[in-house]
Chains A and B, each alone.
Chain A
Amino acid sequence: MARATTRRAKQKTKLDPITLAVLHKRFDAVTTKMANTLLRTGRSGVLNLARDFSTSVVTRECELLTGAESLPIHHLSGADLMARSMMDLHPNLKRGDAYLHNSPYHGCSHPADHTILVPVIDKRGEHQFTVWVKAHQADCGCSQPTTYMGHARDVYEEGALIFPPTKVQTNFEDNEDFINFCRMRIRVPEQWYGDYLAMIGAARIGEREVLAMGDEYGWETLHDFSKEWFDYSEKLMISAIRKLPTGEATTHSTHDPVPGTPDEGIPITAHVRIDNKKATIEVDLTDNPDAMPCGLNLSEACARTGAMIGVFNSIDDIVPTNAGSFRRVNVLIRDGSVAGGGKHPTSMSVATTNLADRVTNPVQRAFSKIQDGIGLAECGPIFPASMGVISGFDPRNDNEPFVNHLFLMVTGGAGAGKTDAWLTILHAGNAGMCFVDSIELDELHFPIYIKTRRLMPDTEGAGRTIGAPSGYCEYGPVGGGDLEVVYVSDGAVNASKGTLGGLNGAVCRNFLMREDGSLEDLPGCADIILKPGENVASYCTGGGGYGPPHERPVEKVREDVEEKWITRERAWKVYGVAIDDAGEVDMAKTRRRRKQLSGG
């Protein structure tokens, strides 16, 4: 009898399924609304063109509740660490406060990712949730006009302004000292300030929405919801892991050398262990070198997130990514290591992209080694010059200074267990969530001329499912001024790896094109000044293929030829498919060739 009563009481506090579903979507809608505000109001191209930002909601216990439509590398791990550090440094949170956080030493991804945290405080002054907005800045005060200081020896040479959680608004009003300070140390200060306003606006919209939900449903209902939602997510995670076999695999991926690294670059090792019975996944990153005197070191947030992206890319995608499902993933990091163990003043300027991808990629490839059909090959490494940071003075506009991060041409998608690459994945940590620049918008806003942007034939990562082909673009200054281009490119030496017999993706190549059309090789990591008439010519990396190319369905290969992705020669040589002059498949020849390719 007593037991029955308890059970009934327990059921009473359980939310009805409609409320559970509504609240889940309402919280998602809060983050979407914040994201929309930022996209529509941001001033720099990296926000309003490329959408390089994220928004999320964290519980009062600092657990990630939702980050719908955010960039994976921005938020899987780190939301918790950042909210926690805000509370540690500012125990007395008040309505109207806003905090800026970009310190990789306190849970942020890297210094270019300015994050505005707003604690949601109810009428009685109690802290209920935290909303945050993280946006990659066009400039963050580094010693050179880029937010990616790959070669910086330490944070001092890097030069970025570092803000451990810093109060920037009190009672909804700006701290003017902070604004004045940034205006002196961040390039194109009006653009920065406009982006700052947009971030504050977005965070306040999120705050307003969550407060409205509190009024409507009551705070305790919202906290009950969080708990149930976490439990539900964990349950889905358990059943997703139970669909995988118990097993382990060790994989490696190497970042190209840059100044400050050994000549062979930075080798990353990941051990992945799946325990089907316990329903856990462990990613061990302890077997990696010490932090290095360069800007590529991973922050703790990026190392953890990099590993988790590899995991979530490889399991059933219906599992929500939040503190509930995270209970089943364990990422091991060694203190002092390049993969998330570095300490201040180690530079982590480029932590979200280059080396983070070198963590995600082997993890997702490890899954493919544990079972064919899951996981992915490696995505293409970035940043070629087609994604460089451009700066200068706009001769069309009274020599107004400008600085911006281009997202002109990057493909990089990897062949997956069951599908071809998502072409515009950008890089593993981005998952294709960013936009690709519009030629017209870039040419309108900056004094540049983009002569060519096209995808290159015969450059795909061949496989049963294929990796993205490489893309080419060519641009330079217009209007008579110079154009400075800075980039930190990985993938010129170490291509994205294919898996289970899939071939590697294309490497990246960057050139300076003189006025007469002659080409000059550019290094992986460069800061160049283009004179009028000069251009950069840049080939981005492609993604690796999954499975042997001769297992690719014949009809797909025929279509690839018809659509000019590959030539007939490549179809024959690599895929073993014979296509005649009329574009039809010669099945007899194809069977023979494929038998030969499969070693039969």
Chain B
Amino acid sequence: MRFAVDTGGTFTDLVLEDNRGRLHMFKAPTTPQDPVEGILAAIEAAAEALSTSIGELLAQGELFIHGTTHATNAIVTGNTARTAFLTTKGHPDILVLREGGRMEPFNFLVPFPKPYVPRALTFEVPERMGADGSVYEPLDEAGVIAIIEELKEKEVEAVAVSLLWSTVNPQHEIGVGKLLKKHLKGVPFTLSHVLNPILREYRRASSTCIDASLKPLMSRYIGGLQERLKAAGFGGRLLMLTSKGGVMDADELADAPIHSVGSGPSMAPIAGRHFSRADAKAATAIVADTGGTTYDVSLVRRGEIPMSPETWLGQRYRGHILGFPSVDVKSIGAGGGSIAWVDEGGLLHVGPQSAGAEPGPACYGRGGTRPTLTDASLVLGHIDPDYFLGGAMTLDPSQAEKAISRDVAEPLGLSLQEAASAILRLATENMVGAIEEITIHQGIDPRGAVLIGGGGAAGLNSVAIAKRLGCQGLVIPEVGAALSAAGAMMSDLHADYRSMFFTITDRFDFKGANAILKSLGDRCRAFIKGPGKGAVESATEFYVEARYKHQIWEIDLGLPINRFRSKKDVERARAAFDEVHEEVFAFRDPSSEVEFVGWRAVARCKLRKGRLGRLVREAIHETTLPKRREAYFAGKGLVNARVAAFDAMKAGAAMRGPAIIESPFTTVVIDPGAKAERTRSGSLFITL
């Protein structure tokens, strides 16, 4: 049995794959103070539905795959550790100067970004390596110990060490590491050559600082989760999602928590790709995940998971560079919990603030008094107050009405329903704007694409979004309400190893290159035999970063071989490089030598085989729904909309709007004029 749990801003989603390959889905409110509590609550809901105990259920688990926004949230809210940056003497401003670059040349309203670690916590280590790895200035250990004394005085909680040329000769970083271990006990640190051995000091330093700043928090979190799962009866393996769209062992992630940054939304495109293939034959899929707090969108074109080679936290040149590639997902503050408010000038806004899980929308009756998108949908009759989350929670329409009347309808002089309708419409516009960023603003026309609507709140306005963008169609997968968790179920275990080693075609160093490939291959083999043991399928892929002589940006070139046997192999690699270069950049330069710079090996272990199973209709969720319900639609007013149960619709069965399709996890609103059809994979395919 496998568990996939995604902790979102509002809900914690659990997808469970039973021993027969069938899927079960559960939700529990996220508990921000102690997210593990929410996880255990979701498992408890599963145990209840499957008529067993939480201990018995967990005891059957072999894998527990977990995704969390814990690391990202900590950075966004500034709750990371008080981190010091140790740099080479003479170069204290690496994080301030960055690599230069700016966008919007005429915009003088955006201030220059502050460094990730303040200058007040930056320290210059007396040492210097040369580009060839020779020691220009030896490491002054007494100087380091003096710095450590200052770190103690300043009550530093984590240390990032990134010295110039540590990628070529790591001795000084290793030396500093030893001293930190000895003299600054208990304070975690990150050494740049271990975490991310890449050229360019800013990127490496930025990676190192972000990583170190997350260590105290993430080791606490992961340690606590492991302990409590074990106490609850889990004896299997805990895997964590990474921003590269794969999974890692929890202990490994605790050692390099930077890989967790942005991991939450990275799974939606993997699931989205699956459903766009299964349910729609469109070349371009817009994958949207609507949670309570954020709206995450990504673009899957021709089946490719979108990767961003230069990931920035925040905007390019204005945020901080991660220094690792990651799945490319855009997030905005919009979702079921987005708060509607009217500003002093009389303009209506929805979000970016969210009521989150606590206190939640007004209609939850948990102390939330401000109106949200969920409240609006309730007032419009789109959500059934008695069947929210399959009846797990009863909503209070009077609270929603009160909040919307007071905060929106009265200030704007609208009727209650007009106000609720305006909230919905504005939320739709915000979400459309996010999708336009990744389509129209990149010169990609959304009109040919299909929209995959995932997340618990997707059903409220995805039909409206798809229609507004002119999409070909909308797919709501049956596990869509837990899209990321479903994606996690399909993800691979992976490990990525890099080494820097320079050689060039006219003086190709066979011995050196082969030694590097062998050591990378050995590490992959060890990974496959160790963490990858028991995988259904494993593979090692080799890559080399190559460029023409004097270029400085490399192209990632897949190597079909793991050893250079003869000149012919070098020529083949070179020819492959020419080809890729021409494909990407429209020209080749046969007269130039080719330089090989960075070497990389990826071990990928598939953890499951076969297609994803179908969702089970849980007996506990059986209920009778009314055939029709009064609901308000803009332009139509109050109509008697048809109601159907998502899981009771047969493959091929169609339903025309105005209609509402209910599941225990989500409500799908079919606007007048749209038509929903159940596909063979269980999804709803909606044409507009």
Q: Is B315 at the interface (CB under 8 A from chain A)?
A: no
Of the stretches B52-60, B106-114, B415-423, the one at the interface is B106-114
Stretch at the interface among B196-204, B230-238, B262-270, B392-400: B196-204
Contact with A along B544-577 (1 / 0, CB 8 A): 0000111111010000000000000000000000
A455 CA to B115 CA, complexed, in Å: 13
- Interface stretch among A248-256, A280-288, A442-450, A503-511? A442-450
- Is A201's beta carbon under 8 Å from chain B? yes
0/1 string, A8-32, CB within 8 A of B gives 1: 0000000000100110011011100
Taken together as a complex, chains A and B put the C-alpha atoms of A364 and B111 apart, in Å, by 18
Report whether B96 and A423 are in contact in the complex, using a CB–CB cutoff of 8 Å.
Answer: yes
- The answer to whether B105 and A440 touch across the interface, beta carbons within 8 angstroms, is no
Tell which of B102, B109, B130, B443 touches A432, judged by Cβ atoms closer than 8 Å. B102
Bound-state CA distance A43–B592 (Å) is: 11
A425 to B445, CA, bound (A): 35
Q: Is A478 an interface residue (CB 8 A)?
A: yes
B525 at the interface (CB under 8 A from A): no
- Would A478 and B130 be within 8 Å (CB), given that A25-B443, A49-B552, A441-B199 are in contact? yes
Contact of B440 among A21, A421, A425, A455 (CB under 8 A): A21
A564 and B587 form a contact (CB under 8 A): no
Q: How far is the CA of A510 from the CA of B105 in the complex (A)?
A: 29
Size band of the interface chain A makes with B = 35 or more
Q: Are A440 and B165 in contact (CB under 8 A)?
A: yes
A422 adjacent to B442 (CB under 8 Å): no
A417 at the interface (CB under 8 A from B): yes
Q: Is the contact region of chain A dominated by helix, strand, or loop, or is it mixed?
A: mixed
Contact with A along B94-125 (1 / 0, CB 8 A): 00111111111111111110000011100000
Q: Does B586 contact A (CB under 8 A)?
A: yes
Q: A18-B440, A422-B108, A438-B199 are in contact. Are A562 and B551 (CB under 8 A)?
A: no
Q: Kindly specify which of A34-42, A348-356, A489-497 makes contact with the partner chain.
A: A34-42
Interface check B91, CB cutoff 8 A: yes
Q: Does A420 contact B (CB under 8 A)?
A: yes
**B470 proximal to A (CB < 8 A):** yes
A396 to B553, CA, bound (A): 21
A417 to B589, alpha carbons, bound, how many Å? 49
| Contact call B93/A453, Cβ cutoff below 8 A | yes
B32 CB → nearest A CB, Å: 30
Secondary structure class of chain B's binding surface, majority of residues: loop
Query: A286 CA to B441 CA in the complex, in Å?
Result: 41
Residues of A near B131 (CB, < 8 A) are 440, 443-444
Among residues of A, the one whose C-beta sits closest to the C-beta of B317 is A432
What are the residues of chain A within 8 A of B119 when measuring CB–CB?
A: 563-565
A347 at interface (Cβ–Cβ under 8 A)?
A: no
**Please, which residue of chain A has its CB at the minimum distance from the CB of B108?**
A416
Min C-beta distance of A54 to chain B, whole Å: 11
Say how far A188's CB is from chain B's closest CB, in angstroms.
9
Residue from A26, A454, A565 in contact with B443 in the complex, judged by beta carbons closer than 8 Å: A26
What residues of chain B lie closer than 8 Å to A376, measured between beta carbons? 108
* A92 at interface by CB-CB < 8 Å: no
Task: Confirm or deny: A572 has a beta carbon within 8 angstroms of a beta carbon on chain B.
Answer: no
Instruction: Please tell me which one of the listed residues B104, B111, B164, B584 contacts residue A440 in the complex, with CB atoms under 8 A apart.
Output: B164
> Does residue B390 face the partner (Cβ distance < 8 Å to A)?
no
A341 near B: Cβ within 8 Å?
no
User: How far, in Å, is B547 (CB) from chain A's closest CB?
Assistant: 9
Asked if B314 is at the interface (CB within 8 A of a chain A CB), the reply is no
Q: Which of A22, A30, A41, A435 contacts B445 (CB 8 A)?
A: A22
B336 to chain A, nearest CB (A): 27
Q: A422 touches which one: B93, B97, B102, B445 (CB < 8 A)?
A: B102
CA distance A451 to B165 in the complex (A): 13
> Is A432 within 8 A of B101, CB to CB?
yes
Please state if B101 and A25 are interface contacts (CB–CB under 8 Å): no
Chain B CB within 8 A of A230 CB: no
- Residues on B with C-beta less than 8 A from A416 are 108-109
Contacting residues, chain A, for B136 (C-beta < 8 A): 449
* Complex contacts, B587 vs chain A, CB 8 Å: 41, 197-198, 200-201, 204
Contact in complex: A418, B109 (CB < 8 Å): yes
In the complex, per-residue mask of B150-190: 1 if CB is within 8 Å of any chain A CB, else 0: 00000000000000110000000000000000000000000
Instruction: Assess the B118–A563 pair: CB atoms within 8 A.
Output: yes
The residue that A40 contacts in the complex, of B98, B102, B447, B551, with Cβ under 8 A, is: B551
CB closest residue in chain A, given B100: A436
Q: A423 near B97 (CB under 8 angstroms)? A: yes
For A420, give its contact among B101, B112, B164, B440 (CB under 8 Å): B112
- Cα A449 to Cα B98 in complex, Å, equals 19
Within 8 A of A (CB), among B75-98: 90-93, 96-98
Q: For residue B128, which residues in chain A have a CB less than 8 angstroms away from its CB? A: 451
A48 with B101, Cβ < 8 A, contacts A438-B200, A443-B131, A564-B119 known:
no
Pick the contact of B199 from A25, A190, A191, A440 — CB < 8 Å?
A: A440
Known pairs A438-B99, A453-B90; A417 contacts B553 (CB<8 A): no
Docked Cα-Cα span, A445 to B549, in Å, equals 10
Which of A42, A421, A432, A564 is close to B120, meaning CB atoms less than 8 Å apart? A564
- CA separation between A423 and B100, bound complex, in Å? 9
Q: A487: CB under 8 A from chain B?
A: no
Partner of A453, one of B91, B553, B585: B91
A419 to B592, CA, bound (A): 47
Cα(A416)–Cα(B93), bound, Å: 23
Assembled-state Cα–Cα distance A454/B587 (Å): 39
- Is the pair A205, B99 in contact by a Cβ cutoff of 8 Å? no
**Chain B contacts for A129, CB-based, 8 A:** none
The answer to whether B130 touches A435, judged by C-beta atoms less than 8 angstroms apart, is no
Q: Which residues of chain B have C-beta atoms less than 8 A from A434's C-beta?
A: 100-101
Contacts of B552 on A, CB cut-off 8 Å? 45, 48-49, 441, 445
Indicate whether A435 sits within 8 Å of B101 (C-beta atoms), given known contacts A48-B551, A445-B552, A564-B120: yes
CA distance A376 to B200 in the complex (A): 33
In contact, A433 and B105 (Cβ under 8 angstroms): yes
B309 nearest CB across to chain A (Å):
11
A555 vs chain B, min Cβ distance (A): 14
> In this complex, what residue of A is CB-closest to B105?
A431
CA gap between A564 and B119 in the complex, in Å:
7
Given known A-B contacts A419-B109, A440-B200, A443-B130, A455 and B443 have beta carbons under 8 A apart: no
Residues of A within 8 A of B99 (CB): 435-436, 438
- Whether the Cβ atoms of A419 and B110 lie closer than 8 Å is yes
Say which residue of A48, A317, A452 sits within 8 Å of B108 (CB atoms). A317
Query: Are A39 and B440 in contact, CB atoms less than 8 angstroms apart?
Result: no
B-chain residues with CB within 8 Å of residue A421 when the two chains form the complex: 112
**Across the interface, do A72 and B106 meet the contact criterion of CB distance under 8 Å?**
yes
Known A194-B550, A420-B111: A201·B102 in contact at CB below 8 Å: no
Q: Are A317 and B104 in contact (CB under 8 A)?
A: yes
The yes or no answer to A69 lying at the interface (CB within 8 A) is yes
Q: Which residues of B contact A471 (CB under 8 A)?
A: 93, 97
Confirm or deny: A405 has a beta carbon within 8 angstroms of a beta carbon on chain B: no
Nearest-Cβ distance from residue A137 to partner chain B, whole angstroms: 14
- A439 at interface by CB-CB < 8 Å: yes
A103 within 8 A of B: no
A326 contacts the other chain (Cβ, under 8 Å)?
no
Q: A43-B551, A435-B101, A453-B91 are in contact. Are A441 and B440 (CB under 8 A)?
A: no
Least Cβ distance of A243 to chain B in Å?
14
Across the interface, B551 reaches (CB within 8 A) one of A42, A317, A418, A453, namely: A42
CB contact list, A39-60 vs B, under 8 A: 39-45, 48-49, 51
Report yes or no: A431 in contact with B106, Cβ–Cβ below 8 A. Answer: yes
Q: What mask results when residues 441 to 473 of chain A are scored 1 for a CB within 8 Å of chain B, else 0?
A: 101110001011111000000000000000100
3 closest A-B pairs by CB: A436-B100, A431-B105, A432-B102
Residues of B within 8 A of A (CB): 90-93, 96-112, 118-120, 128, 130-132, 136, 164-165, 199-202, 436, 440-443, 445, 447, 470, 548-553, 555, 581, 584-587, 589, 592
Further contacts, 7 of them, CB under 8 A, given A41-B581, A48-B553, A474-B90: A40-B585, A48-B551, A432-B102, A434-B100, A434-B101, A452-B90, A454-B90
